[in-house]
Structure 1
Amino acid sequence: MKCVRLSNQNGRLIAQVFIANTPWLRLRGLLGRPSLNNDQAMLISPCYSVHTIGMRYSLDIVYLNSQNQVLRIKKNLKPFRASACKGAAKVLELAAGGIKNKNINIGDIL
């Protein structure tokens, strides 16, 4: 799986990001993988909705448009839940609490 570094518009490092951009990687996502640490995230593209069915841990979800602007934030999505955002092109998944720790806000460009 490809991995890149992600920063905000001010150049502040957000996380080491695993890229899920093939049908298989998008389908699997974080299922069966250990929980993310505070310096990791997964970017799913293309994507506008996620679920945590089968997950054992909560996630923070950041919905991005095609220009990587934050459209919506969903904090602490618990296991066996779902979330979506109309107009999203990508989804960034972080460990629960990651949005607050990284100071990610709606309108930010990542």
Structure 2
Amino acid sequence: MNKKNITIPFQINMADSFFTRLRGLMFRKDPIKNEGLLIIPCNAVHMFFMKFPIDVVLLNKQNEVVKVYHNLQPWRATKPVKAAYSTLELPAGSINQFGIHIGSIIHCSIYC
């Protein structure tokens, strides 16, 4: 199968400590635009205390997409995905905008 490489042109922040992973995007008032959050390690997310929907992309250690959630709404949660190593949270609609699908390889610039 030919894997599609996708470059995300947004600023992607990293959450790789206990506190930053726990907080994620909670308590932000406005929806994210042109930015994202990469949570490492992470194989499931919750949307508790969120005020807006997001797209969620679960990746393995090679940044290959193993699961996607379109427009995940506040106060929802995903089940753990055994094959996932990290989670990329993006503005709602990004999965369709960039043509992300299972098997895609994601490339992005990380800002800490």
Question: Shared topology, TM-score over 0.5?
Answer: yes
> For residue 30 of structure 1, what is the aligned residue in structure 2?
25
8 Å CA contact retained: 1:14, 1:102 = no
Where does structure 1 differ by over 6 angstroms across 4 or more consecutive aligned residues? none
Distance 1:101 1:13 in 2: 10
The secondary structure found in structure 2 opposite 1:41 is strand
Asked if 1:43 corresponds to 2:38, the answer is yes
> For residue 4 of structure 1, what is the aligned residue in structure 2?
none
> For residue 97 of structure 1, what is the aligned residue in structure 2?
93
The secondary structure found in structure 2 opposite 1:63 is strand
> For residue 67 of structure 1, what is the aligned residue in structure 2?
62
Selected match of 2:71 from 48, 57, 76: 76
Distance 2:27 2:8 in 1: 27
Distance 2:67 2:97 in 1: 17
> For residue 53 of structure 2, what is the aligned residue in structure 1?
58
Cα offset, 1:80, TM superposition = 0.4
> For residue 15 of structure 1, what is the aligned residue in structure 2?
10
Cα offset, 1:13, TM superposition = 3.8
Which amino acid in the other structure matches residue 71 of structure 1?
Answer: V
8 Å CA contact retained: 1:76, 1:96 = yes
The secondary structure found in structure 1 opposite 2:95 is helix
Task: Name the stretch that deviates more: 58-67 or 14-23.
Answer: 14-23
Percent identity between matched residues is 39
Structure 1 regions of 5+ residues with no counterpart?
A: 1-7
